[in-house]
């Protein structure tokens, strides 16, 4: 393809996905919001390669500073909508990053060192809030958490020692996936400092995006990597991106007291313990073969065929905890559910993945479903006493109903 044709094709793609549009051959501003964390991408490259977007042509401004406000690096980019700045700095201690434009909104985010594999077993938790599939619905999510008295109007944590579980599928469909991820990344630290805990449990859409299945991106999300000169999956590379490295250390299954929580559902993890399954998941996510699971085939893969098949089976088997829907679709799997609960010394299983009109109980209350047709408009609240969990659902208006 000739160079002019390539340029024409690129412009066509950008117009199609909405990053730019033209009227009478003049660019006009897109109505979608890319400012702040909406389009922020941090790559581990020569220290930190920090990329962000402003809603209008502007000189980009960036500052990194320590928690005591000592400036590490300060810079400016030329006038553009997309901005990139390299900082020869390793995040060994938490730091503040401020990005924006000379005449544009500015956003400050607290960045942390790379995390270790999340613990999967928690005890003596009095209150558990569970949000099913979010799918990039930032406004609905923050409203729900606010009405549930977990955050205030400034998005600060007010949930005390409560545990908040995001049960997978933060990715895809909605316009604000990247913004949701940065919000949860920040909320995780805010909760920790107040004695609470935020959990992110991996769902099938996290796995899909990171392994190059990009069929369900919104127009806005699809335009972000074009602005940064990368592919969408690369924004979440498990080794080369800050958000990807953060996600790759998240659990796939967790247990809080006597409740097992997973995105799809647990039948048999095939490992001696929940921690073993999560460790295997993280190890597989560091392998190159994982990144190409949706671009390769077993009979022609460039990777070791046995290793590729093992990894593919771990993440994409229909009975894996990322994908299983049987407990919600069928009412005849009580033996399997009971066997799983006995194996892990639990009494309750909480799942998402399979949308319902509202949060529901199944299998005589041993299974709770949290995925909704209207995503992020209800959450589950479990309040523990000495003998059991009292079960409630809270909607986007703050109304609390007990599950019966």
Q: What is the pLDDT of residues 27-78, one digit of tens each?
A: 223 689 999 999 999 999 999 999 999 999 999 999 999 999 999 999 999 9
pTM, to two decimals: 0.92
Q: How far does the chain reach from its first CA to its final CA, in angstroms?
A: 64
For residues 42 and 129, membership in a common domain is answered with: no
Residues 330-373 pLDDT 10s:
999 999 999 999 999 999 999 999 999 999 999 999 999 999 99
For residues 149 and 1, membership in a common domain is answered with: no
pLDDT tier, 21 (very low <50, low <70, confident <90, very high otherwise): very low
For residues 75 and 138, membership in a common domain is answered with: no
Rounded to an integer, what distance in angstroms lies between the CA atom of residue 133 and that of residue 116?
Answer: 24
Provide the number of structural domains found in the chain. 3
Task: Specify which residues 260 forms β-bridges with.
Answer: 255, 349
Q: Is residue 5 part of a domain?
A: yes
Q: Among 43-47, 160-164, 301-305, which stretch is predicted with the lowest mean pLDDT?
A: 301-305
What per-residue confidence (pLDDT) applies to 6?
Answer: 41
For residues 20 and 134, membership in a common domain is answered with: no
SS3 content of the chain, % helix, strand, coil (to 5): 30, 30, 45
For residues 79 and 130, membership in a common domain is answered with: no
For residues 335 and 190, membership in a common domain is answered with: yes
For residues 186 and 315, membership in a common domain is answered with: yes
Rounded to an integer, what distance in angstroms lies between the CA atom of residue 225 and that of residue 232?
Answer: 5
* Structural domain ending residue among the three candidates 86, 111, 136: 111
For residues 364 and 393, membership in a common domain is answered with: yes
Q: Is residue 2 part of a domain?
A: yes
Rounded to an integer, what distance in angstroms lies between the CA atom of residue 374 and that of residue 389?
Answer: 26
For residues 231 and 331, membership in a common domain is answered with: yes
Sheet holding 378-384, edge to edge: 197-200, 163-166, 127-131, 378-384, 389-395, 400-402
Q: Is residue 179 part of a domain?
A: yes
Residue 266: give the domain boundaries.
121-402
């Amino acid at each position: 393809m000739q160079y002019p044709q390539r340029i024409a094709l690129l412009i066509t793609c950008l117009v199609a996905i909405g990053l730019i549009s033209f009227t009478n051959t003049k660019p006009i501003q897109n109505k979608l919001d890319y400012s702040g964390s909406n389009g922020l991408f941090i790559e581990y490259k020569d220290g930190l390669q920090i990329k962000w977007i402003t809603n209008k042509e502007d000189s980009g401004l960036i500052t990194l500073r320590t928690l005591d406000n000592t400036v590490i690096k300060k810079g400016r980019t030329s006038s553009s909508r997309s901005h990139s700045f390299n900082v020869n700095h390793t995040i060994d201690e938490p730091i503040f990053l401020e990005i924006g434009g000379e005449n544009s909104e500015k956003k400050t985010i607290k960045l942390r060192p790379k995390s270790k594999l999340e613990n999967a077993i928690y005890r003596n938790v009095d209150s558990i809030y569970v949000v099913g599939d979010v799918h990039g619905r930032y406004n609905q999510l923050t409203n729900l958490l606010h009405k549930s008295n977990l955050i205030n109007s400034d998005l600060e944590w007010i949930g005390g020692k409560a545990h908040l579980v995001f049960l997978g599928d933060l990715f895809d469909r909605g316009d604000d996936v990247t913004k949701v991820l940065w919000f949860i990344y920040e909320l995780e630290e805010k909760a920790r400092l107040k004695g609470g805990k935020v959990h992110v449990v991996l769902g099938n859409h996290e796995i899909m995006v990171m392994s190059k299945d990009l069929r369900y991106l919104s127009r806005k999300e699809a335009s972000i990597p074009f602005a940064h000169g990368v592919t969408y999956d690369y924004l979440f590379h498990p080794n080369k991106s800050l958000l990807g490295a953060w996600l790759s250390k998240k659990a796939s299954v967790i247990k809080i007291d006597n409740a097992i929580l997973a995105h799809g559902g647990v039948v048999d993890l095939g490992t001696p313990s929940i921690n073993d399954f999560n460790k295997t998941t993280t190890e597989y996510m560091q392998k190159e073969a994982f990144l190409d699971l949706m671009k390769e085939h077993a009979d022609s893969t460039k990777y070791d065929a046995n290793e590729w098949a093992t990894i593919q089976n771990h993440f994409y088997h229909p009975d894996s905890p990322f994908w299983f829907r049987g407990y919600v679709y069928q009412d005849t799997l009580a033996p399997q559910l009971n066997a799983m609960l006995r194996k892990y010394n639990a009494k309750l299983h909480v799942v998402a993945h399979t949308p319902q009109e509202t949060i529901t109980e199944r299998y005589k209350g041993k299974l709770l479903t949290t995925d909704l047709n209207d995503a992020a408009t209800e959450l589950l609240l479990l309040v523990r006493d000495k003998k059991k969990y009292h079960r409630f659902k809270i909607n986007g208006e703050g109304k609390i109903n007990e599950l019966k």
